[in-house]
């Protein structure tokens, strides 16, 4: 089985921290960021890693999410 972890930063640097651990996140394309961690006035960069029995994959390319 493969699941996914989501990493992000607030667009201010190159260090990504784990936002969603790879514990059952089956489809990262349907994840919704909510809560106090999200500032509507900031842009975010997101990367995804897959996990299987071998371990974590390399990071995906970064996706920039621009606040509206």
**Which pLDDT tens digits describe the chain residue by residue (68 residues)?**
578 888 888 767 678 877 766 656 666 667 777 776 778 888 888 888 888 889 888 998 988 887 76
* Domain at 32, CATH number: 2.60.40.10
If one counts the domains in the chain, the total is 1
Query: Residues 26-33: contacts with CB within 8 Å, 24+ apart?
Result: 28/4, 31/6
Domain of 18?
3-65
Q: Classify strands 44-52 and 55-56 as parallel, antiparallel or unpaired.
A: antiparallel
pTM of the model: 0.70
């Amino acid at each position: 089985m493969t699941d996914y972890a989501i990493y992000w930063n607030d667009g201010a640097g190159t260090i990504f921290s784990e936002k969603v651990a790879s514990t059952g996140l089956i489809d990262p394309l349907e994840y919704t960021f909510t809560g106090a961690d999200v500032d509507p006035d900031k842009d975010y960069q997101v990367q995804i890693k897959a996990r299987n029995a071998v371990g974590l994959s390399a990071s995906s390319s970064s996706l920039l999410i621009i606040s509206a």
